[in-house]
């Protein structure tokens, strides 16, 4: 099937990483006469956007901001911009389930896929999780179920919506990409903007920002929450998750059986989606119990020298680190945090560490200093004496060696940076992998 997303006779792919290469492969099989070129800042230098007006269609990779002045001028001059995400949705014939949110979307989309694979023959996890949508498009059928993790970068200029849209909590992030928090939230909300009344949007109404941005959503709303209220389909009651469909209430799984630390909201979202597709409580519970956390998401590294280590490298915002600290509890006595500065507000993390102090704070530049300042800026100073002075480090080896020296036996050391990774590491995966390797090497 050809797409309406390609205009004219020439295409420029801007950003030639994993998705850009996937787009090029896909186009070459369908448009043999189309002139296709690509540009990438790492390959072509700072002038990579020079002369883009010569192309009829520009295909933006997720890492390229649509707010760049060069792209804005291109549109004003009559150019057409699309994305690999738009290409996929313009041609897909299967059932689409889109998942977005600031944190938890990888775990939620993976769990949905894991459960559905026990019930349907062709379920595919694609999107921001690292598997190109276009690479899985041609072999699909109308019966294929696509579970699509969608980032704000993929949604900011999307022109289509999935049949089922799942929105998790939204907090401030990517302010190096978006002009403000409102624009970021609106980008996320676009996942539901093009739905129809026969489609479904799934979310937790406890998040005020979701209620606001979905106020005019055209699709049917299906709600989940940790508390039972009128209109809530999936909820927690007396330590059990229940679903309520057509006045029939059924228990699904005890909270104690969920093998995911601090992920009740993600599990509620996944159960809601699978139940909407006909999943039965017993089958859902049987699928959830063997599921394990994804790498770098509150991942148990192991216990070495009587110290338990957790890797939460994907915690790139302060709220995610607070979530990890809450999930693991008071046994966390060493926190390794800090990283690349994207101008986020660390007040919430500072307040949490003031009221729930850790004994050892090991901090990377550049945000390590800001995190410590946030702890000191909290008005209530009564517990300051319980927080030891921070240890500033510049490498993962230095951080892990300190952790072994400082952490008491029987306690937890948590890597949860509350920051991006790009100043000292290639990405969050590199950061987490270095941590795991050094924990095991130095602990043996």
> Taking each helix axis from N to C terminus, what angle separates 396-406 and 428-443, rounded to the nearest 10 degrees?
50
If pLDDT is split at 50, 70 and 90, which confidence band does 176 have?
low
In tens, the pLDDT along 111-146 reads 999 999 999 999 999 999 989 999 999 999 999 999
**pLDDT score for 384:** 47
Write out the residue limits of the CATH 3.40.50.720 domain(s) in the chain: 10-84
Q: By C-alpha distance, which of 365, 372, 370 is closest to 398?
A: 365
Write out the residue limits of the CATH 3.90.190.20 domain(s) in the chain: 299-443
If pLDDT is split at 50, 70 and 90, which confidence band does 179 have?
confident
**pLDDT score for 385:** 44
**Is pLDDT larger for residue 121 or for residue 184?**
121
Q: Residue 15 is encoded by which pair of tokens? A: 């950003």
Examine the pLDDT at 250 and tell me if it is beyond 60: yes
Examine the pLDDT at 188 and tell me if it is beyond 60: yes
Examine the pLDDT at 380 and tell me if it is beyond 70: no
Sheet holding 95-100, edge to edge: 123-127, 145-149, 95-100, 164-167, 200-203, 220-224, 232-237, 240-245, 248-254
**pLDDT score for 178:** 77
CB atoms inside a 10 Å sphere around CB 216: 8
Examine the pLDDT at 393 and tell me if it is beyond 50: yes
| Straight-line distance from the first to the last Cα atom of the chain, in angstroms, rounded to the nearest whole number | 55
Q: Is 35 helix (H, G, I), strand (E, B) or coil?
A: strand
Whole-number Cα distances in Å, 179 to 103, 284, 347: 20, 41, 20
Contacts (Cβ under 8 Å, ≥6 apart) of 36: 10, 11, 13, 24, 27, 28
Look over the chain and give the mean of its residue pLDDT values, rounded to a whole number: 93
As a whole number of angstroms, the longest Cα–Cα distance in the chain is: 71
In tens, the pLDDT along 287-318 reads 999 998 889 999 999 999 999 999 999 999 99
Contacts (Cβ under 8 Å, ≥6 apart) of 344: 172, 173, 175, 317, 318, 367, 418, 419
Bridge partners (DSSP) of residue 10 are 35
**pLDDT score for 174:** 61
Examine the pLDDT at 103 and tell me if it is beyond 90: no
Angle at alpha carbon of residue 237, lines to 235 and 239, rounded to 5°: 110
In tens, the pLDDT along 322-337 reads 999 999 999 999 999 9
Examine the pLDDT at 183 and tell me if it is beyond 60: yes
% residues pLDDT > 70 (the chain): 96
Q: Residue 308 is encoded by which pair of tokens? A: 């338990």
CATH number belonging to the domain at 299-443, selected among 3.40.50.300, 3.90.190.20, 3.90.650.10, 3.30.479.30? 3.90.190.20
Bridge partners (DSSP) of residue 97 are 147, 164
Write out the residue limits of the CATH 3.40.1190.10 domain(s) in the chain: 92-288
Distance CA(56)–CA(212), nearest Å, equals: 37
| Ordered DSSP codes for 244-303 | EETTEEEEEEEGGG--STT-HHHHHHHHHHHHHTT--HHHHHHHHTT--PPTTSSEEEEE
Task: Quickly name the fold that domain 92-288 has.
Answer: 3.40.1190
Q: Which residues of 255-273 are buried (b: 16+ CB within 10 A; e: fewer)?
A: eeebebbbbebbbbbbbbb
412 membership: H or E segment, kind and range: strand 412-415
Average pLDDT on 334-351 reads 94
Examine the pLDDT at 377 and tell me if it is beyond 80: no
Distance CA(347)–CA(273), nearest Å, equals: 34
Residue 310 backbone dihedrals phi, psi, to 5 degrees: -120, 140
Query: Is 405 exposed, middle or buried, given 0-12, 13-18 or 19+ CB atoms closer than 10 A?
Result: exposed
Map tokens 């949508």 to a residue: 133
Distance CA(67)–CA(18), nearest Å, equals: 21
Average pLDDT on 35-45 reads 95
Q: What is the CATH number assigned to the segment(s) 10-84?
A: 3.40.50.720
């Amino acid at each position: 099937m050809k797409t309406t997303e390609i205009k004219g006779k020439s295409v420029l792919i801007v950003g030639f990483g994993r998705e850009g290469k996937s787009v090029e492969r896909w186009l070459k099989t369908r448009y043999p006469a189309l002139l296709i070129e690509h540009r990438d800042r790492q390959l072509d230098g700072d002038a990579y956007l020079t002369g883009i007006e010569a192309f009829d269609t520009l295909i933006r990779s997720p890492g390229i901001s649509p707010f760049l002045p060069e792209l804005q001028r291109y549109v004003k001059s009559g150019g057409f911009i699309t994305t690999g995400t738009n290409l996929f949705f313009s041609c897909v014939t299967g059932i689409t389930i889109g998942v977005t949110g600031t944190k938890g979307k990888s775990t939620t989309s993976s769990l949905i896929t894991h459960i559905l694979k026990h019930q349907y023959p062709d379920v595919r996890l694609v999107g921001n999780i690292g598997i190109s949508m276009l690479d899985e498009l041609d072999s699909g059928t109308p019966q294929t179920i696509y579970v699509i993790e969608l980032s704000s970068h993929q949604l900011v200029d999307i022109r289509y919506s999935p049949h089922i849209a799942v929105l998790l909590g939204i907090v401030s992030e990517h302010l190096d990409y978006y002009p403000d928090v409102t624009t970021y939230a609106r980008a996320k909300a676009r996942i539901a903007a093009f739905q129809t009344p026969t489609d479904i949007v799934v979310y937790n109404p406890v998040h005020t920002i979701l209620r606001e941005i979905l106020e005019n959503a055209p699709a049917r709303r299906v709600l989940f929450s940790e508390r039972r209220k009128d209109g809530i389909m999936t909820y927690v009651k007396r330590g059990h998750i229940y679903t309520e469909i057509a006045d029939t209430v059924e228990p699904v799984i005890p909270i104690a059986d969920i093998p995911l630390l601090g992920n009740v909201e993600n599990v509620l979202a996944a159960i809601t989606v699978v139940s909407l597709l006909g999943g039965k409580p017993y089958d859902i519970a049987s699928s959830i119990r063997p599921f394990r956390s994804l790498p770098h998401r509150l991942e148990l590294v192991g216990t070495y020298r009587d110290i338990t280590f957790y890797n939460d490298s994907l915690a790139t915002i302060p709220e995610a680190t607070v979530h990890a600290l809450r999930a693991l509890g008071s046994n966390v006595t060493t926190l390794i945090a800090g990283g690349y500065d994207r101008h986020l507000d660390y007040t919430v993390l500072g307040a949490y560490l003031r009221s729930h102090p850790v004994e050892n704070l090991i901090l990377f530049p550049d945000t390590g200093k800001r995190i410590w300042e946030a702890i000191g800026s909290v008005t209530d100073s009564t517990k300051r004496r319980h927080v030891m002075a921070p240890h500033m480090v510049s490498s993962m080896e230095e951080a892990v060696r300190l952790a072994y020296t400082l952490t008491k036996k029987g306690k937890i050391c948590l890597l949860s940076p509350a920051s991006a990774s790009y100043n000292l590491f290639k990405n969050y995966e590199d950061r987490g992998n270095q941590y795991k390797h050094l924990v095991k090497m130095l602990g043996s």
